[in-house]
Amino acid sequence: MEISLLTLLIILAVIFLCYMSVTKNFYYFCDKPVASLKPTIPIINTFLLLFEKFSFFDLIDQLYKPFPNSKIIGTFNLLSPMWVVRDPDTVKKMFVKDFDHFVDHQSFIKDFDQSTNEVDALFTNSLFLLKQQKWRDMRATLSPAFTGSKMRLMFELVRETAKAMSTHFVQEAKTNGRQVHEMKDVFSRFTNDVIASCAFGIKVDSFAEKENSFFTMAKKMSFRPGKLMTLKFTLFMMFPKVMQKLNMSIFDRDMAMFFKQIIRDTIQTREKHNIVRPDMINLLMQLKTGSNISHEQENKVKDAEGFATVEESAIGKSTTSRVWTETELIAQCFLFFLAGFETASTFLQFLSHELVVNTEVQQKLYEEIKSFEEGLEGKPLSYDDIQKMKYLDMVITEGLRKWPPAPVIDRECVKDYVYDEGNGVKFTIEKGQLIWIPIFSYHMDPKYFPNPEKFDPERFSDENKDSIHPGAYLPFGVGPRNCIGSRFALMEVKAVIYYLLLNFSFEVCEKTQIPLKLRSGFGMFAEKGVWVDLKLRK
């Protein structure tokens, strides 16, 4: 079949327009006084990552390592220019001192129509994705719920869950003998029960009732590895309008409605019976009635709640009179679960592996825990008690260095920013452009942490921790938009490690992978899982 000249010209024109559209930004960095990666490399790597040819950690290092003497480099987020900040001092200047230019996270779902998608509105209304003034108001609203004084009240719920989990395994070991477990599953059940109690105000035992509805729904919400999930998120970022026209949702509809109804039912029950409990539901009830929760003044001693704890900025300590809708309030509970369920369990599995392969660290930590438990003389462990355990904090802090739950964080430039190093390197980061902070690469850079592959809690001893560059250790982010729940995460992790090590030694089994390898693709998952033999102590 012959093709007419006009048809051929149209085809060539379409091909040319597509080429121009794809390559329009390819020379963006040519007139900038900075090092940059060729535009084809990030695009190819993104698709290699999508098809699970290497891990997300590998991708971060591929952006960080090529230009060791550069403080900032240019690269691409698919086809759009993006900046990677390689220097901790520059991070502090940009995202603390000049925070007003970088208030927002990346527009994960652009042009989102909340009126047509009640499910994903729970996600887009969460603190993580709110923007500008609305984010500032929500941060000020929620911040008082995460102070040390509030954590003291909530710790009782966390302690009960951690102790119940340990008791379950002790009884199981006495009955069935050897206990070999995949630790991601173990800690997912633990974090599920903790968040169910602290965020949703309900008691769940995911060890006794393994397929309870709360845990089943939580698994649907988690970001499990897989090409389908990765492709789904990529399509939402690139074609949000098309995905909404197709009536697609990021999250499972039944799951989202399940959690939303639980919150509504719990609030109604508490209002009817005047029930007060130190959890997120109680906070929502106060906000629902228009009550402003004040940010209590605390005499915080540096590092008193752990080296990794981040401090609240003036934004979080301000007051706001904004009135929130039901969806906006429930979205915060939804985020609390989403963040707490997945990130804490992921970190805990890698920490358990480090305790398995570093037996001297495990033994020293066990001796501290045992000595402390004896000193309690039967009294229940408190929030202040667990902050006194220095070696426990050192172990957790080192674990967060080697296995940061958020290996990279992003910011979106909200107004043009003049970047000036003072040595001739000066240019403008334009509004709307994305900036990456490669936390994992900082944590594994021998310039900041000598022999970074070694799991060494002594880096964070009283004698050594002052030598650590404060901008190079960022497990909970940086600046006013850091993780609001750092205190909660740390007390949760410390409580479960305390009770498990008190009763069990973590030992190698036939399924333990040494050295541990990460699964290729997006996310932070062990290639063959993290398997541990929990051996009951005598």
Binding residues for heme: 483
Instruction: Please list the residues that pair with 505 across neighbouring strands.
Output: 535
Instruction: Please list the residues that pair with 533 across neighbouring strands.
Output: 180, 507
Q: How far apart are CA 24 and CA 20, in angstroms?
A: 5
Annotated binding site: 483
Q: What angle do CA 119, 124, 130 make, to 5 degrees?
A: 155
Query: Which two tokens mark 192?
Result: 């599920």
Q: How far apart are CA 386 and CA 391, in angstroms?
A: 11
**11 phi-psi bin (left φ>0, alpha ψ -120 to 50, beta other):** alpha
Q: How many CB atoms lie within 10 A of CB 436?
A: 21
- Only one residue has tokens 């960095």, namely 29
Distance of CA 478 to the CA centre of its chain: 13
In our burial notation (b when 16+ CB lie closer than 10 A, e otherwise), range 76-114 reads bbeeebbbbbbbbebbbebbeeebebbbbbbbbbeebee
Please tell me the number of Cα atoms within 13 Å of 396 on its side-chain side: 27
**Pick from 69, 79, 80, 81: which is nearest to 35 by CA?**
69
Q: What angle do CA 129, 141, 296 make, to 5 degrees?
A: 135
